[in-house]
Amino acid sequence: MSSSFTLSGDTPLAESHVDQRRVLVTGAAGNIGSYFAEHAHQKYELRLLVLESDDPSTIQSFGEVVTGDIRDLARMRELCQGIDTVVHLAADPDPSALWSNLLPLNIEGTYNTFVAAKAAGCRRVLFASSIHAVSGYPPGRQVRTSDPVNPADLYGVTKCFGEALGRYMAEQEGLSVIAIRIGWFQPHSSAQRESGIQMIDSWVSRRDLHQLIERSIDVENLQFAIFHGLSNNQFKRLDISDAQLLLGYAPLDDLMREQPELKELNLKERLAETDADVQSGIRDDL
C-alpha cells in the first residue's frame, strides 16, 4: 500500500524551535481563518489575506491585514515574500458549486498559491483539503489517508487536485506540503443542537482543528503528508491515526459527549464495559 506521507530526512520527526514563524493565511476572514488568527497571533507573526470586499474588523488586531486575490499570481508572489508557512484556506467552499465557480478559486487560485510560495522560498504550504475528497466511499467504511481519493462532487474533485498538486510540489519541486482533509468544522454550540447528530462521524471542533493546524506548521522533517481533521469522535468516518503518530495530535472533543440524547445512552461507557468483560485466551499460559 502506498504511503500518504514522505519524510524530508532520516532524522526523527520533531517540532521546530524557531522563535516565531511568519505565517500567511489566505481566506483569513473566513470561519477557520478568523478562529486561527484569534488563537495563533501570539505564537506566529501573521499576515492575513482578505478580499477588498471582506470586513477585516474582527481580525485586524491579530496581524498584518493585507488585501489581494489568489487568482492574481503576481500579487500572491508579493504576499509570500518573507513567509515561512502559507496556510491556504481560501476557496469556494460550496459542495454543490458548479465547475465554472470552482475553477477560478479552487483550481487556478490553489495553483497560484503553491507556485507563489515556491517562488518566494517559503518552507511549507498547509493546504485545506476536505472530507469531500473521499466522500464517495460508503458511510460505513472508515477511510485511511493511504486510500485512493474518491470524491462525490466536483468540489471534492478540486480538493483532490490540490492534494495531487501539493505532492508534486513537495516531491518534485522541494516545497514541503501538508494537506488536511477537514471534516465538519462547527462550534460546540452547533454540535449540541438536535441536528448536530448528523456530524456524529465527521465533526471537528474549532479547538481540535486549530491544534492540528499548529502542529502541521511546527513539525519538522515532513516533506509531504495528508492528515485527517476530525475530533476524537467515538465513530470516525476518517482515520486520524497518522496525525496522532506523526504530529502528536491529541484531539479533545467527541460529538457523543455533546449530544444530549447520546449522553443518556452512555454508549461509550457501555462499550468499554463489554470489552472489559472479555478475558484473553492466553490467560492460562501466563
Give catalytic residue positions: 155
- At 184, give phi and psi (nearest 5°): -80, 95
Distance (Å, rounded) from C-alpha 251 to C-alpha 212?
8
Which three cell numbers, joined as nine digits, stand for 15? 517540532
The CA-atom distances, in angstroms, between 115 and each of 102, 118, 167, 174 are 19, 5, 13, 11
Q: What is the dihedral of CA 32, 38, 44, 47, to 10 degrees?
A: 70
Asked whether the beta carbons of 178 and 127 are under 8 A apart, the reply is: yes
Asked whether the beta carbons of 65 and 50 are under 8 A apart, the reply is: yes
How many Å separate Cα 245 from the centre of its chain? 16
